[in-house]
Amino acid sequence: MSTAEAPSHLHENPYEIARQQLRRVGETFGIDPNLIGVLELCKKTVEVSIPTRMDDGSVNVYTGYRVTHNIARGPSKGGIRYHPAVTRDEVKALSIWMTWKCSLMGLPFGGAKGGVVVDPKLLSRRELERMTRRFTSEIINEIGPEKDIPAPDVGTDASVMAWIFDTFSMNKGHSVLGVVTGKPLAIGGSLGRLEATARGALYCIEEVLREETRSIDGLRVAVQGAGNVGGHLARMLVEEGATVIAISDSQGGIHNSAGLDIPSALAYKAERGSFEGFRDAETITNEELILLECDVLAPCALEQVITAENAPHVQARIVCEGANGPVTPTADEILEDRGIVVLPDVLANAGGVVVSYFEWVQGLQEYFWKEEQVNARLNEIVTRAFRETWETRLERRTSMRMAAYGIAVQRVAEATITRGLYP
- Among 38, 13, 102, 3, CA closest to 303: 13
* Residue 43 burial by Cβ neighbours in a 10 Å radius (0-12, 13-18, 19+): middle
* Residue 169 burial by Cβ neighbours in a 10 Å radius (0-12, 13-18, 19+): middle
Q: Give the strand order in the sheet containing 220-224.
A: 282-284, 252-255, 243-249, 220-224, 296-299, 318-320, 341-343
Give Cα separations from 422 to 44, 66, 416, 419 (angstroms). Answer: 16, 23, 11, 9
DSSP string, 102-159: HHHTT-S-EEEEEEEE--GGGS-HHHHHHHHHHHHHHTTTT-BTTTEEEEE-TT--HH
Query: Is 113 an annotated catalytic residue?
Result: yes
Residue type, position 245, single letter: I
Rounded Cα distance between 151 and 162, Å, is 10
Other beta carbons less than 10 A from residue 157's beta carbon: 16
> Which of the following is catalytic: 101, 113, 183, 269?
113
Q: Is the dihedral of CA 176, 180, 182, 183 positive or negative?
A: negative
Residue positions annotated with a catalytic role: 113
